[in-house]
Amino acid sequence: MTLETGGIIKVSIGQFYGIEINDFAVTVAKTALWIAESQMMKATEEIVHQSLDFLPLKSYANIVEGNALRLDWETVVPKEKLNYIMGNPPFVGARLMEPEQKADIAFIFAQWKNAGNLDYVACWYKKATEYIGNTSIRCALVSTNSVTQGEQVAILWKPLFEMGLHIDFAHRTFRWDSEASIKAHVHCVIVGFSIAPNPKEKVLYIDERPQIVDNINGYLLNTENIFIGSRSQPICNVPQMVFGSMPNDGGFLSNYSNEQKNAIVKKYPQAERYFHRLLGAEEFINKKVRWCLWLKGVSPAVIRSIPPIAEAVARVRELRLASKREATSKLADIPMLFGEIRQPESGDYLLIPSTSSENRKYVPIDILSSEIIASNANLLVPNATLYHFGVLTSNVHMAWMRAVAGRLEMRYRYSVNIVYNNFPWCVPTEAQRTKIVQTAKAILEAREKYSECNLADLYGEQMYLFPDLLQAHRNNDRAVMEAYGFWGKLNSESECVAELMKLYQKLIEK
């Protein structure tokens, strides 16, 4: 005897609607639904102890071929018939889109400020939000984690929240590994959202562990809906941060090995004084040696007297003259200099690499002499003190950076306008400031004990192998947390960020 399935099964593939952009994807989606239905039928048979017949296969027309960003979703399924929207839209970065995808961004985000900085997946959040207005529809999308980091948060989520959207649940960053033979690792988040009131508890998943929270903001943090926008000046009274100097020289001034430099100096000893160490992020973190010709203020007579230097300057001029960019071709007038110079004239400066591994608890930071040239792969704080170094290298600042910085793949992408300029600094007592200076100095002294190691070694996943350095950082962390009033009150990094965001909110409201 075969039971009628209609009275037992309340969900069928006829209730699923979808949009796929090409015909093959449509066929795959239909096949996947049939396979899922077959599997669920088998599971149901084991529950009801009866044989269920669902053959022959029915051909549903609910999977539509088309561009989901150009179609009117109501032509696929009317709002009043829909309960849920789920999907994993295409993962394409803002700087990697094809012309057609850029056109889709312009179409979906017409009149939105800075929409060109959004990843492609952001389009589905916007379109879904517009579609679910005045309905009880719930949505959940898998997307690249970049839409919950850096400048994209304020660009995307602030207007959506103003449209009434709220996040009901979310899964913070996880790695989605492809099953293909050539592995593709995509770092994703899951965001569940709606406009209709939701009486259920909000759940935030961190490393697959659910937490009941009061609110989930655009950074997927349990705190208020605060948005960190781009700021041209520091929000607090601290030294300005700038980019390092950009060579724009084809390597003719900026890329000399030890061997190349020594060969020139051996023949022209007077050239020694014009070679300076040059640090990109790679050289800084991995202790690699690279030299540049730093010819600022050097007379033409000196340049002409050293043929290898004169030749390098001539090659830079040729390169810049050949550029189609007007700004670059104008630099041919000063071929002896880097294209952009921001190097401090004297004293020390603080250096932070623009990009650093996400596996580090602390981004490597150092205080360097102005004789060492920093390239535009780094960020500099001229006139910084040990106090500034101590606060910036602390777990408080690292927590802020991890929450608001952009990412390159998963690597931290430190920025001036988002991370540094918006950071709410503590207001320490004189004793607290002195303590931070002492603990900051102890970090540098601990590094000296391991001078044979590079910063990648010292700040890698095996930092525990350098106990003096680790303890110095812990002491500094405590000193900074005491200056903020956080010590003994906070139990997690997310709580720290929540408190920092409250401080930020007070600063912008002044």
Task: Read off the pLDDT band of 228 (50, 70, 90).
Answer: very high
Any residues with CB less than 8 A from the CB of 404 and at least 6 apart, and which?
A: 149, 150, 153, 219, 228, 418, 419, 422
Q: Which one is predicted more confidently, 230 or 1?
A: 230
For residue 14, the model assigns a pLDDT of 76
Which amino acid, one-letter code, is at 423?
F
Side-chain half-sphere exposure of 126, counting CA atoms within 13 A = 25
Q: Which one is predicted more confidently, 230 or 476?
A: 476
For residue 137, the model assigns a pLDDT of 96
For residue 1, the model assigns a pLDDT of 29
Task: Read off the pLDDT band of 60 (50, 70, 90).
Answer: low
For residue 182, the model assigns a pLDDT of 45
For residue 178, the model assigns a pLDDT of 58
Task: Read off the pLDDT band of 219 (50, 70, 90).
Answer: very high
Q: Decide if pLDDT at 117 tops 70.
A: yes
Q: Decide if pLDDT at 180 tops 60.
A: no
Q: Range with the lowest mean pLDDT among 263-272, 384-393, 460-469, 472-481?
A: 460-469
The answer to whether 285 and 364 have CB atoms below 8 angstroms apart is: yes
Q: Range with the lowest mean pLDDT among 173-182, 308-317, 337-346, 455-464?
A: 173-182
pLDDT tens readout for residues 81-109: 899 999 989 888 888 889 999 999 999 99
Among the listed residues 97, 91, 150, the one whose alpha carbon sits nearest the alpha carbon of residue 122: 91
Give pairs for 503-509: CB < 8 Å, separation 24+. 503/424, 504/226, 504/228, 504/235, 504/422, 504/424, 505/224, 505/226, 506/424, 507/235, 507/236, 507/424, 508/235
Average pLDDT across the chain, whole number? 90
Mean pLDDT of 209-228: 92
Mean pLDDT of 280-307: 96
The enclosing H or E element of 397 equals: helix 395-404
Task: Read off the pLDDT band of 61 (50, 70, 90).
Answer: low
Task: Read off the pLDDT band of 160 (50, 70, 90).
Answer: very high
The answer to whether 332 and 249 have CB atoms below 8 angstroms apart is: no
For residue 181, the model assigns a pLDDT of 46
Task: Read off the pLDDT band of 2 (50, 70, 90).
Answer: very low
Q: Decide if pLDDT at 157 tops 90.
A: yes
Most confident of 11-15, 176-180, 268-272: 268-272
CB atoms < 10 A from the CB of 468, how many? Answer: 15
Q: Range with the lowest mean pLDDT among 134-143, 326-335, 443-452, 494-503?
A: 494-503
For residue 28, the model assigns a pLDDT of 81
Mean pLDDT of 424-441: 98
Mean pLDDT of 259-281: 97
Task: Read off the pLDDT band of 474 (50, 70, 90).
Answer: very high
Among the listed residues 456, 411, 444, the one whose alpha carbon sits nearest the alpha carbon of residue 288: 456
For residue 313, the model assigns a pLDDT of 98
CA gap 295, 31 in Å, rounded: 67
The answer to whether 84 and 140 have CB atoms below 8 angstroms apart is: yes
pLDDT tens readout for residues 350-396: 999 999 988 899 999 999 999 999 999 999 999 899 999 999 999 99
For residue 6, the model assigns a pLDDT of 52
For residue 55, the model assigns a pLDDT of 60
Q: Which one is predicted more confidently, 168 or 206?
A: 168
Rounded to 5 degrees, what angle do the CA atoms 472, 475, 480 make? 125
Here the tokens at position 430 are 């004189």
Predicted TM-score (pTM) above 0.85: no
Mean pLDDT of 257-279: 97
CA gap 363, 65 in Å, rounded: 47
Mean pLDDT of 238-249: 96
